[in-house]
Structures are given as C-alpha cells and as structure tokens.
Amino acid sequence: MSIEIGFYKKYTSSAVKHFWVTRDSATKKNKEEGKADQGNRGAVTAGKNMDGFLELIKKTVESNGLEASCVLTDGRTNLTLPGFFRPTKNWDVLVIDGENLIAVIEFKSQVGSFGNNFNNRCEEALGSATDFNVAFREKVFGKNFKPYLGYLMLVESNPKSVAPVRCSSPHFSVLEEFEGTSYIERYQIFCEKLVREGLYDNAALICSDYETGLKGKYTEPNEFNSVKNLISGLAAAVSAYVASK
C-alpha cells in the first residue's frame, strides 16, 4: 500500500477549488443566458463539480499497482452496475480489472437548502449502500472478493449549516446525539454511522465555504471520516487485489 504524506491533501485542495470554480462558472453562465431564476439548481445540475476528486482516485489506484485504464469515471453506461432491489444504478467511480470489480465510490455535495436536502442525501446513501451490499451477497458481481465501497460528501460551511437546528418529533424522542446539532454535525454523525454499521468501508466528510474554497481551503470535522482514511482504504483494497493476482 502506498500513500505519501501530504499526497491526499494536495489533490483534495485542488478538487475543492475545482468544485467552487465550476459552480461559479455554471452560475455565471446561467445569468448570461437569462436563466438566473434557476439559482442554486443551475450550478448543481452542471454535473462536473466533483470531478476534481477523480484525479485523487486515479493517482491512488495507479500508485498501488493498477493501470489508470482500470478507473472508470465517465460515460453513463460505463458507470452502471446491477442492483438487487432495482435493476441498475449509476455510480461516480468504478475500479474494474477484467471481470473483477475492485472498488466503487460515490461523490455527493450540498450547498445551501440544508433543511430540504439533508434527509434526501441520507436516504440516497443508505439506499445505495443497502442495494449494493445485498447485490454482492447474492453474487450479482460474480464470486470475487467484496469490492471496496467509499463515500465522499462535501458540505458548504456557512451560518445556516453550522447553527444548531431544532429537532421536531411529536411522538417519540430523537436520539440524544442529534439534539442541538447543526447540519454539519448531523452529517458527521451520519458518515460515522455509515462506516460503523458496515454500510460503507469509508465515508469522508469535508466542509468548505465559497470564499476560502476558491483557494482550495477546506476542513474535516473528524479524522475518522477523513479523506485520508477514504484513500488509505482504497489503496489497501487495490494493493490486496494486486497481491492476489
């Protein structure tokens, strides 16, 4: 396994900068084309915001013994895997060598609209992982070892995402760890539980704001859900596969 000190920080910083620059460009383009009313949605649907993280995945895979061609990052059909509860799902990154599925990684982000979208993001991640894990159990991906499953979430850091949010549950009490938490803290709890409950092998959470994000600045709420852990896990999975060939 090979992960150099500072390796992931360099590429993560570049990816964060790419995220904000791409969003900014999409927003400006919409305004120029008279689509300003689309607001935040226009930047989201540009579809390339998280592409900066692809380079980090490729370099990690290459550094641990596989060709770059094993990392699939584009083409809707090219990134499709069969499911168990549904026919197929499109993922963001697949690492495949021949007929061997080695790793699958999903990228997500949230900028604004926290109240509307937090639960949606949680439901997406839970559903995707559940479907994937059962599909593996049922040998949908063949009879090889369990593929590495990773999740990376980028959340905007702003006054609305760092302020405590009231919990409303009229019939039963919410879990104590959610009381008085902000949306970023809820994402932190969520990502930690995704891993501890065995749904994902690693789930990274990074936070960034527009002003400093354009300079590649970001923070990580905790080490357990860090990009370093996500990439180290991927490196270990690729190394183990290469050693088994």
For the chain, the domains span 7-244
At residue 1, the pLDDT reads 52
Query: What Å distances lie between residue 224 and 8, 116, 188, 232, CA to CA?
Result: 15, 27, 10, 12
Q: Which residue type is seen at 224?
A: F
3 or 168: which leads in pLDDT: 168
Mean pLDDT for the chain overall = 89
- Percentage of the chain lying above the pLDDT 90 cut: 76
Query: What pLDDT score does 3 carry?
Result: 54
In this structure, which amino acid lies at residue 70? Answer: C
| pLDDT score for 4 | 59
What confidence score (pLDDT) does residue 23 get?
A: 87
Higher pLDDT, 67 or 113: 67
Report the chain's C-alpha Rg in angstroms: 18
Q: What is the pLDDT of residues 130-175, one digit of tens each?
A: 999 999 999 999 888 899 999 999 999 999 999 999 888 899 999 9
Tokens standing for residue 140: 């949908």
Which pLDDT score is estimated for 80? 95
Q: Say which range, 21-30, 33-42, 85-94, has the weakest mean pLDDT.
A: 33-42
100-110 vs 80-82, strand pairing mode: unpaired
How much is the pLDDT for 31? 52
Contact yes or no for 114/153 (Cβ under 8 A): no
Each residue's pLDDT tens digit, 173-209 = 999 999 999 999 999 999 999 999 999 999 999 999 9
d(CA 46, CA 73): 16
